[in-house]
Structure 1
Amino acid sequence: MLYFKKIYLLNNSEKQELEKSLRSKSLKRSQMLDFVFETSNIGTDKYFLGNEGKKDLKLTRIKTSFESFLPKIIISFPKETAIQYYKFRLSVLSTLILALLSFLLLISFLDVVMNQKNAEAFLITLVLSVIYFSFILLELKITKNRILKSINLDKRV
């Protein structure tokens, strides 16, 4: 999978503290998180779904039904103590949608350049691509805020 963002940590104790905080705010799942679609419309103290593999711990945010249209972002925490970062990637479905939009954008751009036609199709595809990319950025921001909220709540207890 393609990871698009890494957050570096200062030391191993910071990594362990972060992982502990996120584990306390996660529901454990045995399925791959790419194919788990779970929403919660009631208040809960859990913010993430987690899946522990051999090499890493993967988390994804539990969304409300109003947020279900946002792309799914999966966070990976490597288990190796020498690795001092965690990273973000899109789920398989979100990656396929992004690839499809990119392909359509390229095809419609080439059509406009080669044939000087279908500028409307290019603009529509461009607008849809920008909207989807904005949704990715929004989901990334919400996920980061949930991570910070988990850390702050864990420090208070």
Structure 2
Amino acid sequence: MNLNWSDVNWIFEPEGSLRDIYIKNVRAEDWIVLIDHLNQNYNIRYGPSIENKSINKIDKEYILKYFIDETAEMETKSASIFIDKIMINLHFFSDEEIEFDIDPKEINSNSDLEIIIEFMNDMSQILNKEAILTGEGESDYPLIAVDYGNKKIVLVTKEWM
């Protein structure tokens, strides 16, 4: 892919908020595929990072139980995915939407951007759904959209805004 960092670097200008990657309209089956894929193909840290008690695999059974727990007594967990120097956090906020976040301070070059696009493309491919990158909490305003099935990658330039 031929990306022009100067056209999209504004997306990653640090201003105090994170960038989110969303995959919408998911079901439990999608979460199973996602967790299995991440556990098999990525460097993962799951659970609390205090005193190195985290593990390197996401506990799929725990997450699926968490989504249907009505007691609100289960502990919220998250996972971190490490690709080179970039950390992508996965949150288990909703069983209907997958949400990752990244710190824009970690995206500083064309090669960093390519890592994010490749990750989004991988998620889109395994789930057969579009992956979008947005400002923090702005899931209705994609800045980057990747749809593997439709062979689509759209990056919003500042002029489009």
TM-score category, normalised to shorter length? 0.3 to 0.5
Greater relative CO (CA pairs within 8 A, separation 6+): 2
Query: 1 or 2, which has the higher helix percentage?
Result: 1
Query: 1 or 2, which has the higher strand percentage?
Result: 2
**TM-score, normalised to structure 1's length?**
0.39
**TM-score, normalised to structure 2's length?**
0.38
* Structure label with greater radius of gyration: 1
